[in-house]
Structure 1
């Protein structure tokens, strides 16, 4: 497999401003991480808020955070496992091993798994270290998305990608 050096993505550079830019392809993967080649992407209300300049998420909670600019927004997606580092636990949500070519979607919420909320009620928006794909990480508007802290879900063969997004 030939790794690209750069890929093109829609970058929200500020409220109401989007540019098509060339960005570097990830040069390394964390243990257990993978790269998913995006095949389909939906648009969420959060994307609209970011475009309109409404940037605060989960206001008044421990997880309150502001979306950043510039950013590649978006977090409703499906794609194909393109690359894995092979040195970690490349597993999906239900515990199955993943392999190159698998079709996946994922929850866009990256949580710590250790705070009070994560240990007791799995309330991902309230995790004290919550981050989100498309808000603090590259998103599904980027042709490739890295995983490792987010957990993919393996999808059955033949399941339409448009439904997954």
Structure 2
């Protein structure tokens, strides 16, 4: 089978190796169909991901066909469409014991600290497999992982239904977060960015309220969208100091600010506002199994739209060209898909 191995930053080498022949009773052999390239993958490509050693087989957003199942596997059968969570957890630390395994003390993520799916076949245990309905395309299946980030982050607020929500950052993740806020019953959802291409993609996905904060001041835009109601929930998906600042400074007192963006430099937090305004400031780390299941359901029901987010496809043999394309088209690219 084929493997794409990133041997050092910016260098991808291809290798032919034997396909797996034996699986354990609880395991599933997947034939990988499509892989999504995410922002964290790009950090690895540039040598800017602090927790990823080289060489590494990348790939953690994907769709697949079930090829073979172990003797104890009961929920999937050969021929089914599927995907799976890339989290390797210890199961014995405090977070794992209380069901918060997405924040495992010893977490490893396939594609970063463990081999990923940039290969024709891949083995996963049944408990991490998520079945995709036949109605979903393999392209949609590769979008389940980022959609699950949206599902999880919007569940970090005790109650989002009926509230006004601002999502900062209109990239693929921010877009899906905003869509999930809408799907969970938010009253109004506004998405902000400095890139009109991304804001147009938001509109194509049904997010009507958009704001380019490089053209209109945040406070002015908030007033025009929400009037005197303001907003009660802010989700920071840009990983930018300025966006965190305006969310904390302007969210309604007693409101929620959820941080899921990845920061190149640690931001400072205005603790005066957090304390004096009694804000609920929380982080959001990846997802749990139920978030994957909700993401699949929402995509299948048409409540989460992924098609406008797909910018381009590349064949497996042109893996490196996918990264070069993303570099060249920065600001005009959402999600790039690798076809196996």
Is TM > 0.5 for Structure 1 vs Structure 2? yes
Q: Give the structure with the higher percent helix.
A: 2
Q: Distance in 1 between matches of 2:115 and 2:22?
A: 14
The structure with more radius of gyration: 2
Unaligned runs of 5+ in 2: 143-340
Structure with more of its chain in strand, by fraction: 1
- 1:78 corresponds, among 37, 41, 63, to 63
Q: Does the aligned pair in 2 maintain the 1:33–1:146 contact within 8 Å?
A: yes
Cα-to-partner distance string for 1:111-150 (whole Å, 9 max, x where unaligned): 23332111225241x3123222212433221111110276
RMSD: 1.9
With over 3 angstroms needed to count, the CA separation of the structure-2 counterparts of 1:77 and 1:18, relative to structure 1, is same
Runs of 4+ residues over 4 Å off in structure 1:
none
Listed as ranges, the matches of 1:74-153 within 5 Å are 74-86=59-71, 88=72, 90-91=73-74, 97-124=75-102, 126-148=103-125, 151-153=128-130
Q: Distance in 1 between matches of 2:62 and 2:88?
A: 15
Aligned residues: 142
Change (3 A) 1:141 1:19: same
| In structure 1, C-alpha distance between the alignment counterparts of 2:20 and 2:108, rounded to whole Å | 19
Query: Residue 100 and residue 149 in structure 1: after superposition, are their counterparts in 2 closer, same or farther (change >3 A)?
Result: closer
> For 1:117, what is the secondary structure of its paired residue?
helix
CA distance in 2, matches of 1:159, 1:133: 24
1:39 equivalent in alignment to 2:33: yes
| Distance in 2 of aligned mates of 1:18 and 1:133 | 17
Alignment-derived partner of residue 48 in structure 1: 42
**Residues 108, 150 of structure 1: 8 Å contact kept:** no
TM-score (ref. length: structure 2): 0.39
